[in-house]
Amino acid sequence: MSDRGLLTVISGFSGCGKGTVVGKLVDSYGYSLSISATTRNPRDGDVEGVHYFFITKEEFKDRIEKNGFLEWAEYVGNYYGTPKDYVETMLAQGKNVILEIEMQGGLKVKEQCPEAVLVFMVPPSAKELKSRLVNRGTEDMDTINRRIARASEEIDYINDYDYIVVNDDIGRCAGEIHNIITCEGKKVINNGELTERIKQDFKNI
């Protein structure tokens, strides 16, 4: 068990199935998911406090001024931010926390928390991504095209991430991410208390 929980960022192109994989990590493996605040309008099926906290631009700016976000970013015309308090509290309790956020935000998290693990999820191909977005039917073609354009910009920053996973099967992809996080949790640097206890134990025998 690590002293503090591990912070994992999962990013990936809009429509690559991040939400479903993250849901599996929460339900099957017990990770704590941070719920972001956003200024975008709720989509059909979006639930306040479950998928996002939907707030106005004024409220968002106020939270920025009060230093209430661990990170925030603008994405295709809307603001998205990670509430700082929730993440801090969970990590202090030893819980492993997942942030499902875009890349700009992921890189800001890494600056502040160098021990955070950055995972980038990709669809099997660009063509597959476009057809998933179209079939989802939640955005108009203009928004879909802007999201695809943003995806092709983001791919340039992929080298700053620690891991890349392909989402061609939800269960397999969630299992791979869980394995990555489990290994990170075994690093000596993440196990100060255990390491110290064992050292003392062997000195005192």
> Residues 53, 56, 60, 62: is their CA dihedral positive or negative?
negative
Under rule CB under 6 A, residue 146 binds ligand 5GP = no
DSSP code, position 35: P
Under rule CB under 6 A, residue 60 binds ligand 5GP = no
Under rule CB under 6 A, residue 8 binds ligand 5GP = no
Q: Which of 31, 60, 80, 161 binds ligand 5GP (CB under 6 A)?
A: 80
Interface with ligand 5GP by CB under 6 A: which range of 78-86, 129-137, 169-177, 184-192?
78-86
**How far is it, in rounded angstroms, from Cα 55 to Cα 86?**
17
CB 3 within 8 A of CB 190: yes
Count of C-beta atoms within a 10 Å radius of residue 181 = 20
**How far is it, in rounded angstroms, from Cα 67 to Cα 90?**
18
Under rule CB under 6 A, residue 133 binds ligand 5GP = no
Under rule CB under 6 A, residue 105 binds ligand 5GP = yes
The closest residue (CB) to ligand 5GP is 105
Q: Closer CB to ligand 5GP, residue 5 or residue 106?
A: 106
| Start-to-end Cα distance in the chain | 24
Residues that bind ligand 5GP (CB under 6 A): 14, 36, 40, 71, 73, 75, 80-82, 100-102, 104-105
